[in-house]
Amino acid sequence: MLFRCFVPCCPRFELPDFPFMAFSISNDPSSLLSLQTQRSIFGYKDKVKDFEKTQLRIPASFRRKAVNLQMMASGKIPGLTQEANDCTYEATIDTENNTDVFSDMKQRFRAFKKLKYMDNLEHFKKLADAQAPKFLVIACADSRVCPSAVLGFQPGEAFTVRNIANLVPPYKSGPTETKAALQFSVNTLEVENILVIGHSRCGGIQALMGMEEVDSRSFIHNWVIVGKKAKESTKAVASNLHFDHQCQHCEKTSINHSLERLLGYPWIEEKVLKGSLSLHGGYYDFVNCTFEKWTVDYGGSRGKKESTGIAVKNRSVW
């Protein structure tokens, strides 16, 4: 059997059937063909140099498979609960800084496993079988406003969907991941609360407020236009304010417009009417670290015409 090398940097040549591990991934003299043997195979030094260069070009997937073969041959197959430092793995390296970009993440995961998962093993075993969250949270994708970090949601407590500017699209628009999450969480998981969370200095709202016309080529424009009515409401009452203050006004107005749109989903309004589902708004100001919360007053909202707003109750600031 012959191995053929098709690496562009060297001429085509054939190798005898030597053990794969001897020349493909290891630099150990005991497992690598000696230079003299290589010379006898290739016939001259230039090809040996070319061959040595190819060692650096072996794909990562090839190297991982080879390591797995070595582990299987030695009987050292790590179990699912074995510590990560007992396993052979290939680190992702930041070549510019020569650091493992997942190092901190690995340590945080190990801390989670030790301090939370293992201490609450029965709880996580139940979650493995089913979930029964009380909340559906619709939040912004902004990296600064993670709902679990800000509000302390634990695994199993909140079904969460995050999108640009925490928007809820109209019921009659086309399919989106947000609408799929609404349908699944309300009709299948039967959550008892929907919480729409906006936040300060939202880039999606800034894009909406600064947009003169929709660019059909822009995914961002085609998404944030969902908040067009919130923009119009803001311009009607705050057009004389500085742009930043207009955005802040729209950030809150947009939340109520999303809550109003939720009532446009027949199966959501039906559950709200029965009292089995409540709708809430929240606004996280990370500049001052405050959280404002309110609840939709469905009885007070029913008398309002569409697009004239909703009635709210139980407003509080934390």
Domains present along the chain, CATH in parentheses: 104-130 (no CATH), 134-317 (3.40.1050.10)
Q: Are 233 and 227 in contact (CB under 8 A)?
A: no
The pLDDT score that the predictor gives to residue 77 is 41
Please enumerate, by residue number, every residue annotated as part of a binding site for Zn(2+).
140, 142, 199, 202
- How far from 281 is each of 1, 96, 124, 298, 304, CA to CA, in Å? 69, 43, 29, 13, 18
* Element containing residue 22 per DSSP (H, E): helix 20-23
pLDDT score at 92: 53
Round the CA-based radius of gyration of the chain to a whole number and report it.
Answer: 29
Q: Which two tokens stand for residue 241?
A: 């304010």
Task: Show the tokens assigned to 54.
Answer: 């190819």
Per-residue pLDDT 10s for the chain (318 aa) are 444 444 444 444 444 444 434 444 444 444 444 444 444 444 444 544 454 444 444 444 444 444 444 544 444 444 444 444 444 444 455 556 667 889 999 999 999 999 999 999 999 999 999 999 999 999 999 999 999 999 999 999 999 999 999 999 999 888 899 999 999 999 999 999 999 999 999 999 999 999 888 888 899 999 999 999 999 999 999 989 999 999 999 999 999 999 999 999 999 999 999 999 999 999 999 999 999 999 999 887 765 555 557 899 999 999
Binding site residue list: 140, 142, 199, 202
pLDDT score, position 142: 96
Angle between helices 45-54 and 35-42 (to 10 degrees): 110
